[in-house]
Amino acid sequence: MTGTTSLLAAPLPAPSIEYGRLAPVLIVLGVAVAGVVIEAFAPAARRWLLQVSLAVAGLVAAAVAVVLLAGRVASFPDGGVSMVGSMIVDGTTLALQGIVLAVALPAILLVAERRVEVTADGIPADAFAARASTIPGSVAERQATRAGVTQTEVFPLTMFAVGGMLIMPASGDLLTMFIALEVLSLPLYLLCGMARRRRLMSQEASLKYFLLGAFASAFFLFGVALLYGYAGTSDLADIAAAIDADTGSRALAVTGAALLVAGLLFKIGAVPLHAWIPDVYQGAPTPITAFMAAATKIAAVGALLRVLTTALPDLTDSLRPMLWAVVILTMVVGSVAAISQTNVKRMLAYSAVAHAGFMLTGLAAAGALAPSATIFYLFAYGMSTLGAFAIVTLVRTSRGEADDLSSWAGLGKRSPLVAAMFALLLLSFAGIPLTSGFIAKFAVFRAAAEAGGGALVVVGVVCSAIAAAFYVRVIVLMFFTDAGEDPAVVTNPSALTKIAVAVCTALTIVLGLAPQWALDLANRAAELLT
């Protein structure tokens, strides 16, 4: 008893927290907290400018921190293991964090654009707010508020989601990864329900995402519990050591790993855990859909890459049948289902499902080139997806956003520049040469082929051909079809959306014509994967 008492009285060793290595995460989460303070205390008239300025400055500062860390990551002791093993800051972590921030910055500009949409009467929201401000407490004032002029809480919520996304690929412990998963998920559940024009659809999307996300989190936690029961630890490196030593029931480890992977596949949007994607993408505000479609996949695939390479390398053969089945079904279902869609957001949603299969091809085959190819694919896909949804926010009919594809008929004649940029992004999705999509697909298919995944490559090529059909259909509709009764027009965006669309389109071209610099960065990042 005396020994027990002295043991309890002994001071615990102080944990070592490497604040410098965690700078990107700390900056983003600090900005999110500051945004909450602004919401609570800043005057309503100044919140938008303060929130946008703070969010942009925070993301830029975090990106600078990532670049500075990348210059000395090779010299980090212990492979960049930080915070007593709960986080790993290596080349792969910094590459994925850089991609998340590169996507989040134009996404924030799109979110900021929401305050200048038109009201139900077709009056610009800014003008509506100015008119309403002269009638305190009036119906006009309440309508202006509902129109989103004061809806600035989206900025701290988005920054919290970005913070969770930065932690996901850096997690060295399964409990840290789960916390990051919830930090990125909970704000997205709220953001999906904040559409102004389609409140019921938006709230339905939010509820579906929340309920299905809760089930996915349960799968993830159950997998963590089984792996902890097998290895006696939730640390990724220690789990790998226990599996290598074969200290327990192999079936327990495989079952836990499968459930863990299933929880991450939900966020990626892989079949059969994809059912939420079309409804949520359609119902959520389009800027939020753009951010979610691009950034969430980067974080989730990064976490899956970390788990497969750090914790479960010895279970690759056991997990391969499940991963192959998921990848094949995801490519086929996403490509085939997109053909029958008449709603542009649902078409892009099923396209995102198909791309989830494409980007997982290399990981499923477990090739040596898979990490670098996947990192490049995430960058190319994230930029193209964000640009495509950004253009969707600009195209409108008299009823609001031009969701119906038939409204896009003849858009190439009325707004040739916007239609040309959208066509370019669609061709990138299809994997047409001289676009980033072609280089990305070539990279992952090559990684799969060299690892013995020839069957995956064949299915991927066939599904790419199927997908090209519905992408080309939209291009034909825009340039070679006469306008209907309610043709879509392109609204005059602010400089924020113009910058976002220009950056995404330019990177799609640059990564297609001169991709070597990005491929080299991805290769160097993969070499430093712990």
pLDDT at 10: 54
| Residue-range definition of the domain harbouring residue 395 | 17-116+153-527
**In what order do the strands lie in the sheet containing 395-397?**
400-401, 395-397, 489-490
Average pLDDT over residues 123-130: 40
pLDDT at 221: 93
pLDDT tens by residue, 342-353: 889 999 999 999
Average pLDDT over residues 194-215: 84
Q: For the chain, give the percent of residues with pLDDT over 70.
A: 88
Confidence of residue 27 (pLDDT cuts 50, 70, 90): very high
* Model confidence at 405: pLDDT above 90: no
Q: What is the C-alpha separation between 322 and 314, in angstroms, rounded?
A: 15
Confidence of residue 486 (pLDDT cuts 50, 70, 90): low
* Model confidence at 144: pLDDT above 80: no
Q: Please check whether residue 3 lies inside any domain of the structure.
A: no
pLDDT tens by residue, 358-389: 999 988 887 778 889 999 999 999 999 999 99
Confidence of residue 296 (pLDDT cuts 50, 70, 90): very high
Confidence of residue 243 (pLDDT cuts 50, 70, 90): confident
CA distances from 140 to 119, 150, 479 (A): 11, 14, 40
* Model confidence at 468: pLDDT above 70: yes
Q: Please check whether residue 190 lies inside any domain of the structure.
A: yes
Q: Please check whether residue 220 lies inside any domain of the structure.
A: yes
191: tokens are: 């953001």
pLDDT at 177: 93
How many structural domains does the chain have? 1
Confidence of residue 12 (pLDDT cuts 50, 70, 90): low
* Model confidence at 1: pLDDT above 50: no
Going 161 to 163 to 166 to 167, the CA torsion angle's sign is negative
* Model confidence at 8: pLDDT above 80: no
pLDDT tens by residue, 211-223: 988 988 999 999 9
* Model confidence at 65: pLDDT above 90: yes
Average pLDDT over residues 67-84: 81
Confidence of residue 530 (pLDDT cuts 50, 70, 90): low
pLDDT at 484: 67
Confidence of residue 126 (pLDDT cuts 50, 70, 90): very low
Q: Please check whether residue 146 lies inside any domain of the structure.
A: no
* Model confidence at 169: pLDDT above 60: yes
Q: Please check whether residue 8 lies inside any domain of the structure.
A: no
Backbone angles phi, psi at 401, to 5 degrees: -60, 140
Average pLDDT over residues 444-470: 90
Burial class (CB within 10 angstroms; exposed 0-12, middle 13-18, buried 19+) of 124? middle
Q: Please check whether residue 358 lies inside any domain of the structure.
A: yes
Mean pLDDT of the chain: 84
3-class DSSP state of 87: strand
pLDDT at 250: 80
Confidence of residue 130 (pLDDT cuts 50, 70, 90): very low
pLDDT at 14: 63
pLDDT at 366: 77
Q: What is the C-alpha separation between 56 and 59, in angstroms, rounded?
A: 5
Q: Please check whether residue 2 lies inside any domain of the structure.
A: no
Contact of 279 with 208, CB cutoff 8 Å? yes
Q: Please check whether residue 354 lies inside any domain of the structure.
A: yes
* Model confidence at 131: pLDDT above 70: no
pLDDT at 195: 76
251: tokens are: 């079936």
CA-wise closest residue to 354 among 481, 241, 443, 441 = 441
